[in-house]
Amino acid sequence: MLKPLLAVAIAGAFATASTITLAATPKLNDKQYFSQPSLDVVVFSNWYNGLFGDSKISGVELIHFGERTATNGDVRLSATPEQWDPIPTFVERKVDQASGTISATLAYPEYDFTYTITARPINNGVEITLSSPNPLPPALEGKAGFNMEFLPATYMETSFLADGKPGSFPLYPTGVKEIIGEHEPQPLATGQHLVLAPESPQKRVSVKSESLPLALYDGRAKAQNGWYVVRGLLPAGKSGTLAKWQLTASTDDNWLRAPVIGHSQVGYLPQQTKRAVIELDARATLSGDAELLRVNPDGTTTTVKKRQPEKHDNYTRYQYAVFDFSDVTTSGVYQLRYGETTTAPFSIDASVLDNAWHPTLDHYFPVQMDHMLINEAYRVWHGASHLDDALQAPVNHTHFDLYAQGPTTDTPYEPGEHIPGLNVGGWYDAGDYDIRTQTQYHTITSLVQTWEEFGLTRDTTLVDYERKYVDIHVPDGKPDLLQQIEHGSLALLAQYKAVGHAIPGIIVPDLSQYTHLGDGLTMTDNLIYDPAMSDTESDGTRSGVFDDRWAFTSKSTPLNYGSMAALAAASRALADYNPALAAECRDTAIAAWQEEAGHAPDIFKVGNTTGGGLEEEKLKAAVELLITTGDKKYQRAVKDLLPYIEGEFNRAAVIAIRALPHMDKAYAQRIRRAAQQYKPALEAATSKNPFGVTITEYGWAGNATVLQMAITQYYLHTAFPDLFDSELIYRSLDYLYGTHPDSDISFVSNVGTVSKKVAYGMNRADYSFISGAIVPGVLILKPDLPENKENWPFLWGENEYVINVGGLYLFTVNAALALAER
């Protein structure tokens, strides 16, 4: 009886849910997507990420009841594509307002296959037609299909119907995964009409194929970041129309997105500006008052401020209003309310920022330490990994993660030869396990600036290099900040000692290792690879297992300058803590500068692993060496770079201002003029949205930019207080802590009442977080959707932790504290 009862229950739910669905046709709006209340269909407004292949932001996409729940409606060559599987080449996109259609032409040029996807509106959705002037090439028969991917977080624990036959979406995948050329995936269901979540009035989607069968797959069996996939294979021997789908969804003409009250989940210092930014549906009416409620000890609330919020210009797809409660300075616990939305509690108090940086230094930095075992009470975060670092990368080789080796090794080592001495120091770059040198030196520089400006002596972590052991929550009598500076410096020094110059980085050679999730120790056997041994042979030091990371070693002068700048800075911070290491850092930086002065620059540029611009990196090195040594040759180098500073002041301001005490009056006058000229550009950049910060709008969200601008503001304010105030510093932290588009969540895990709990760290497969880590934040998807998913960690552009952002954050919080004390 179970199956008939289930079918009746689902059918009943479908009938009930259908009664609130209103038949309406989406309109092609002026932003060039189809829209009706509660449903938008976007057609190739975004393109696949050019750096990392498929980033789940292209093709035909659904925004359903305000959430992007389906993406990648396009031709793919497997049922459950992975991130680096083939994607088509974009040819053109056409929007025909007269006929109300959008079409996109794409191609797989290596197969000589060109096709066009056209969408036209129908009731509660679109009809999608896939056509080609020529039949499918024989090489693509049985491979090419029209896919659409649906977000597992949305559909887990719901049901589906396939030609009326019931089923349910699994919470976790089972069955055989797809292995190209070996195993076909097992579909969850097949049929010509699939209905996803028929029981849910806010999730139900119908996919109906005109002639060809559909299959429903669970892509998570192949990769943890896979989505549910609806797929229809394209027919062989046919031109013209190859596939036609009716894609529809449940809608509600009366639906309005609930207001979001953007505010700081951490709270506010009594004297700072306090602005809640209320985000409203585009069709909502701004009416009624916003309220600030004080929470009393007995659980009751008292309204302490009530007024209509001030309308602000619209931004992206939403309208905004601002509720200012800066005049409330009494210490206490508060909530904000507008309409039926009430926020989580937050504090107003002089101490709200005192501990806000502790998780980042106490947890995130230790967890990211490479070449060490990281223990925390009963938990081991990871073992002492990559002690077999590293093999010389092969020449003329382009890696899949933005590294490349040029025509020579630029080292004494042959391709594949072990380079000794690289198995020390460094942090895992991000949610993966490479040591990206550019990230390392940015992080060291931020930590040194934090030490020199604020002198943080907090000690909660034990670091034992002899045992390669780190213990979180166990003080060892040494400032944790200096220990982290030491750890980064050891990695940079190791490069100079091993090969004589900075190298782009160290990373695993193949995708099977790169996609590894979990303990970094299990990526390798920690034994040096010996090609003369079989893969089951070892002698305790070497083995025949090819699992060692590669060192990409092509010389880059900008990268070398960036590294010597970090070492010069570190030498000052470490001078009393570890004098021998400090001297080695200083001497290495001086020697590297002299070596670079003896030849033309080496400009080897690949991705984002070979340093920034030559002038930018040289300026950093010159200033840090000037501060460290006082040598006038570095002063002359800084003067020579004044035209660069003035032309790129937004990028050069911090380092230029840090040089002021070591330069002459003429330099100071030119820097002040540059600052004056920069001020209107800064004001324009931070006034384009109601949040008062610069929100980047490309494939990686912009929390790092927000923090970097806050740091720039700190230096501008301290150098020129008559020109620049400190507001942007507090506004930037408010943004990070919840005053941003899309939601009010804090983007610093474990900081603030409601903070990021699902993020792209090494533990992302567990839908978990690392305390104190910061995610990229809100990604602005074209044409107008701000997005940061808290229920799906695998969107790296929104949710991936990166170590250098931790350094920026430590500085910014302590800058805010220091200015508040002043």
Model pLDDT for residues 574-623, shown as the tens digit of each residue = 999 999 999 999 999 999 999 999 999 999 999 999 999 999 999 999 99
Q: What is the DSSP string of 377-405?
A: TTEEEE-S--TT--EEPPSSEE-TTS-EE
Q: What is the DSSP string of 282-320?
A: TT----S-EEEEEEPTTS-EEEEEEEPPEEEEEETTEEE
Q: Poorest-confidence range of 326-330, 369-373, 428-432? A: 428-432
Taking the C-alpha atoms of residue 679 and residue 737, their distance in angstroms, rounded to an integer, is 26
Residue 238: strand, helix, or coil:
coil
Report the predicted TM-score, pTM, of the whole model to 2 decimal places. Answer: 0.95
Q: List, in sequence order, every beta strand (DSSP E) within 199-345.
A: 205-209, 214-218, 228-233, 240-249, 260-262, 267-268, 275-280, 290-295, 301-307, 310-315, 318-324, 332-338, 341-342
CB neighbourhood size of 359 (10 A): 20
Dihedral in degrees, nearest 10, Cα atoms 176, 180, 182, 187: 30
Q: pLDDT exceeding 90 applies to what percent of the chain?
A: 92
Single-letter amino acid, residue 448: V
CB 805 within 8 A of CB 774: yes
Provide the pLDDT confidence category of residue 793 given band limits of 50, 70 and 90: very high
Q: Which residues pair with 380 in a beta bridge?
A: 375
Structure tokens that stand for 18 in this block: 């259908």
Helices (runs of H) and strands (runs of E) counted in the chain: 18, 42
- Domains of the chain listed by start with CATH number: 2-249 (2.70.98), 260-348 (2.60.40.10), 367-610 (1.50.10.10)
Single-letter amino acid, residue 313: D
Angle, CA of 387, 391 and 395, to the nearest 5°: 160
Q: pLDDT exceeding 70 applies to what percent of the chain?
A: 97
- The burial of 322, by beta-carbon neighbours within 10 Å (0-12 exposed, 13-18 middle, 19 or more buried), is given as middle
Q: Which of 364, 579, 356 is nearest to 470 (CA)?
A: 364
Model pLDDT for residues 508-525, shown as the tens digit of each residue = 999 889 998 989 999 999
Q: Cis (ω within 30 of 0) for the bond into 215?
A: no
Residue 193: strand, helix, or coil:
strand
* pLDDT reported for residue 177: 87
Place of tokens 């624990």: 157
Count the alpha carbons within 13 Å of 680 in the hemisphere toward its beta carbon: 2
Q: Is the pLDDT of residue 404 over 90?
A: yes
CB neighbourhood size of 642 (10 A): 18
CB 203 within 8 A of CB 219: no
As a whole number, mean pLDDT of residues 285-294 equals: 96
Residues 6+ apart with CB under 8 A from 728: 682, 686, 692, 693, 709, 710, 713
* pLDDT reported for residue 22: 54
Model pLDDT for residues 311-348, shown as the tens digit of each residue = 999 999 999 999 999 999 999 999 999 999 999 999 99
Residue 753: strand, helix, or coil:
coil
Taking the C-alpha atoms of residue 765 and residue 763, their distance in angstroms, rounded to an integer, is 6
The continuous run of DSSP H or E covering 462 comes out as strand 461-464
Taking the C-alpha atoms of residue 16 and residue 11, their distance in angstroms, rounded to an integer, is 9
Q: Is the pLDDT of residue 257 over 80?
A: yes
Taking the C-alpha atoms of residue 170 and residue 218, their distance in angstroms, rounded to an integer, is 8
Q: Which of 502, 519, 488 is nearest to 383 (CA)?
A: 519
Taking the C-alpha atoms of residue 761 and residue 750, their distance in angstroms, rounded to an integer, is 14
